[in-house]
Amino acid sequence: MEYLEAKEKFIGTWGSLGSLWGINKAMAQIQALLFISTKPLSMEDIMEDLKISRGNTSMNLRQLMDWGIVTKVLVSGERKEFFTTEKDVQELTRIIAKERSRREIQPVIKVLDDVSSIKDDGTDKTKELIKQTKALHDLSVNADAMLNKLVTQKQNWLTKSIIKLLK
C-alpha cells in the first residue's frame, strides 16, 4: 500500500467510524486529515483535499474548535488562517471524553435523577420505573466518574489503569 492509498483509507475509515458514533463525516475527516498532516492546513487546503465546499469546511472547523480538538494557528507572513488538531492521542481522548460527558452524559443523568425521584404511588409499574431508572442513574454516575478519573490523569492514564485493573 502506498502513502496516498493509506491516507485515503485512514481518512475514509475515520469518517465512517464517526458516522457510526454520531459524529458527522466531514467533521471526522477534517480531524483525520489534520491529524496526519505534517503542518497546519488552510481552509483551502482542506477543501481541496477532501473535496468539500467552503461552507462545509468552515462550519465543521468551527465545531471542531468548539470541541477544543482543533485550534487556529497563525503562520507568519500568511494572511489566511491555518488549523491544527491536537496531535497527542491521549490528550485527544481526554478532550473528547470530557466533552461528551459534559454535553451528553450529564444531562441524561439529570433526567434519570428526576424520573427516578417521582413519588411512589404504590403501583407495580411506578415501582419498576423508579427501580430501573435509579439503577441506570447509578450506573451512569459511576461510569461517568470513572471516565473522568481515568481521563483526568494526564500521563499514560490508559496504561496505568490497565495495570491496576489487571492486578
Partner DNA sequence: TTAAACTTTCAATAATTACTGAAAGTTTAA
Partner DNA sequence: TTAAACTTTCAGTAATTATTGAAAGTTTAA
Positions in the binding site for a copy of itself (CB under 8 A): 1-3, 6-7, 9-10, 13, 17, 19-22, 35-38, 87, 89-90, 93, 104, 108, 111-112, 114-115, 118, 121, 123-126, 128-129, 132-133, 135-136, 139, 142-143, 145-146, 149-150, 158-159, 161-162, 164-167
In the bound complex, what is the minimum distance in angstroms from residue 15's beta carbon to DNA? 8
156 secondary structure, DSSP code: T
Q: Where are the beta strands (DSSP E) in 64-159?
A: 70-73, 82-85
Distance from C-alpha of 45 to C-alpha of 112, rounded to nearest angstrom: 45
Q: Give the count of beta carbons closer than 10 Å to the beta carbon of residue 150.
A: 15
> In the window 30-69, what residues touch DNA (CB under 7 A)?
42-44, 51-56, 58-62
Q: Does 149 bind DNA (CB under 7 A)?
A: no
CA distance to 94, 146, 149, per residue, from 101 (Å): 11, 11, 12
Chain positions contacting DNA, by CB under 7 A: 19, 24-27, 42-44, 51-56, 58-62, 78-81
